[in-house]
Structure 1
Amino acid sequence: KVAMVFGQMNEPPGNRLRVALTGLTMAEKFRDEGRDILFFVDNIYRYTLAGTEVSALLGRMPSAVGYQPTLAEEMGKLQERITSTKTGSITSIQAVYVPADDLTDPSPATTFQHLDSTVVLSRDIASLGIYPAVDPLDSSSRQLDPQVVGEEHYAVARGVQQTLQRYKELRDIIAILGMDELSPEDKQAVARARKIQRFLSQPFHVAEVFTGSPGKYVPLAETIRGFKMIVEGECDALP
């Protein structure tokens, strides 16, 4: 079964504010009937925006960046209702618009507090022709725990993040002084980070229209092994 609830941008803000709550109430009803629900929200920022407009109409004093003073409360009331019970479950996937690509903006920052995992798309990575343009440093998951994914997976993932973070720190130096001014260790870290960037662009079925390369499924074990080889230097001799 599929149920859809719409809130058009030309409708009053009060209507748009209730759209997410209405959809969630329907999801809760299906869950209580013993069903497993996949709850899509596109876009959760519109819920925040509608709340901001309603708050202004009520004459409330705005908080940071002009948002309503009740932002955290309103977001909590929505997000904390997305939960599973003994009879059914609700799993939510939400698109989150980030104003000016600022992840510290109160709206996305408040939303992220309630999410188990986030996949952040980056304009900078897309400009390099790497698809899907996922930023591995800004993205996160509570499942990245050695007790959940295993010691090897966890260690390799952290090693990849550390290498990419070091590369990010060195970018300004490289842009101003060039690669020649780096230490041998930093040159090695940069080379490995660039390999990791390209390795993250392996052909996805959903990215065929952007890359022109046919999608290919890669088993998780092979992906972990590939990253481990790069991080540990087994691929240093390769261009």
Structure 2
Amino acid sequence: MTTLRLPQHAELERLVQTLDNAIPSGVEGTIWSVGRNAIEAVALPVPVGAVCQIQRRGRASIPAEVIGFQGAITLLASLDGSDGIAPGDRVVLRDSIATLRVGPGMIGRVIDASGNPIDDLGPISTLTKVPLDAPPITAMQRPPIDQVLTTGVRTIDTLLTLGRGQRIGIFAGSGVGKSTLLGMMARGTDAEVVVIGLVGERGREVQEYLQRELDEVTRKKCVTVVATSDQPALRRVHAAMTSTAIAEYFRDQGQNVLLMMDSVTRFAMAQREIGLAAGEAPTTRGYPPSVFSMLPRLVERSGTGPRGTITGIYTVLVEGDDNNEPISDTLRGLLDGHFVLSRDIAHRGRYPAIDVLSSLSRLQSHLADEKQLKSATALRNSISVYRDNEDLISIGAYQRGSSPQIDRSIAMQPQIEQFLSQPAREIAPWNVSLAALNQLGTQCMAPPATQADNK
């Protein structure tokens, strides 16, 4: 005899399982001591990642998150610093995991790491509660990347073509134009929603970025998450996760999302503070192991989904212009390509200062047609030949006519430099950029005699 499973029974089983996994409410502990980077509590049996409320005597309560244990002592990190916390203060469990309320009302708004508006435009209507640190989509549920994402940046669209759902790192030292390039991509992209995470930025730069780099039309399709450098490390970590969670929400609604995080290096530095406070041993350059486990978890949340896509653009602040420092080296292996901004190119006044020869989009060969690939290869080859012989050319040691290939690269250099240069407020249409690339590629592949005749 077959037993029918009624829908009510299935729902009842789900509720029973939820209750079995639930953490009892009303769990309380007591503050034992407050260190420089961590808060210690006793009699607080809650898991890592649980969200608590520290009830300060005579002052407002502040949120905190469990980051580890040392014996019977629970270690917490506060979202609002440790001022006013005293031994004996109560610690009350609020939730077993950090969550965020999201909804379409976030578009066009500027929020903090907890999802609260900071733009003085009133409250935000939200519909859904999602985990802050959600697991990535499994590998077999990810559709292949087969659609081009246009950015309006000529160099990227033609020589470093991006696909919807790709993850890219922008590697550069300070002051080389990372934020300006992000603004150009935000204005020129064909993505329906843009999520910008400003992690560890200087407070002065936030308003300047929103007003200078984004026009009014772009701001209307952006969600901007801000955690400045003076805020506690946990807020800076949460800002990166909040940005990603918001992008996931819109992706699941069937939207193509551009997620831009500036910078993932400061996210790693914030997690370093938390990891060291939790008692982790420092490893390479002082980074604890948790940093190198959280980076792949963060970037893997971007990508294609069953209904929409998240294209992730992560800026990587290269310390001392060392592209092989630990965070840069780790991310280069995790991402689907990298754009390297060169200080030397910036000093010459060419912006965006993308070093084409050092940059790579791993998916360009799958997204571009044969003609574009041939033209891009010819252009790269011409740049490479000129760079290899630049010293000889600049001091006049090279004799024209010695090498037809070098002669051709010298003749093409002004046109190539003009092609790679683009004013910050200019949006280059994709079809126009592609036509210009193919024309340059044809000239770069022309025989030397033809090149001489054109003079």
For 1:230, the equivalent position in structure 2 comes to 444
Q: Does structure 1 retain, via aligned residues, the 8 Å contact 2:374–2:441? A: no
Structure 1 residue 136, shift from structure 2 partner: 0.7
For 1:116, the equivalent position in structure 2 comes to 336
Structure 1 residue 133, shift from structure 2 partner: 2.0
Q: Does structure 1 retain, via aligned residues, the 8 Å contact 2:408–2:444? A: no
More helix as a share of residues: 1
Query: Is 2:373 aligned against 1:141?
Result: no
- Provide structure 1 residue ranges, at least 5 long, that are not aligned to the other structure: 209-214
- Name which of 20, 24, 32 aligns with 2:240: 20
Measured against aligned partners, the alpha-carbon deviations of 1:80-130 in whole angstroms (never above 9, x if no partner) come to 111332233222223322222222222123223333343322221122222
Q: In the alignment, residue 381 of structure 2 is paired with which amino acid?
A: Q
- Name which of 240, 248, 253 aligns with 1:33: 253
Structure 1 residue 75, shift from structure 2 partner: 0.8
- Name which of 384, 394, 398 aligns with 1:165: 384
Structure 1 residue 52, shift from structure 2 partner: 2.0
Separation in 2, partners of 1:235, 1:34: 50
Structure 1 residue 180, shift from structure 2 partner: 4.3
Separation in 2, partners of 1:80, 1:12: 25
Q: How does 1:8-87 map to 2 (within 5 A)?
A: 8-87=228-307
Check 1:187–1:86 CA distance in 2 against 1; reply closer, same or farther (3 A cut).
closer
SS of 1:39 mapped into structure 2:
strand
For 2:398, the equivalent position in structure 1 comes to 179
Return the index of the structure with the highest Cα Rg.
2
Indicate the larger mover: 55-64 or 175-184: 175-184
Separation in 2, partners of 1:180, 1:80: 52
Separation in 1, partners of 2:374, 2:341: 24
Q: In the alignment, residue 140 of structure 1 is paired with which amino acid?
A: L
Separation in 1, partners of 2:333, 2:355: 18
SS of 1:34 mapped into structure 2:
coil
Indicate the larger mover: 227-236 or 88-97: 227-236
Separation in 1, partners of 2:370, 2:411: 22
Structure 1 residue 50, shift from structure 2 partner: 0.9
SS of 1:96 mapped into structure 2:
strand
Task: Calculate the aligned-residue CA RMSD, in Å.
Answer: 3.0
Separation in 2, partners of 1:45, 1:127: 24
Check 1:61–1:173 CA distance in 2 against 1; reply closer, same or farther (3 A cut).
farther
SS of 2:349 mapped into structure 1:
coil
Check 1:34–1:191 CA distance in 2 against 1; reply closer, same or farther (3 A cut).
closer
Identity of paired residues, percent? 27
Indicate the larger mover: 135-144 or 111-120: 111-120
SS of 1:161 mapped into structure 2:
helix
SS of 1:165 mapped into structure 2:
helix
Check 1:188–1:70 CA distance in 2 against 1; reply closer, same or farther (3 A cut).
farther
Q: Does structure 2 retain, via aligned residues, the 8 Å contact 1:98–1:108? A: yes
Separation in 2, partners of 1:70, 1:59: 11
Q: Does structure 2 retain, via aligned residues, the 8 Å contact 1:132–1:207? A: no
Separation in 1, partners of 2:333, 2:282: 21
Separation in 1, partners of 2:377, 2:253: 41
Indicate the larger mover: 33-42 or 47-56: 33-42
Query: Is 2:369 aligned against 1:150?
Result: yes
Q: In the alignment, residue 424 of structure 2 is paired with which amino acid?
A: V
TM-score, normalization by structure 1: 0.79
Measured against aligned partners, the alpha-carbon deviations of 1:118-168 in whole angstroms (never above 9, x if no partner) come to 3322221122222322211122112321x5312222122122223322333
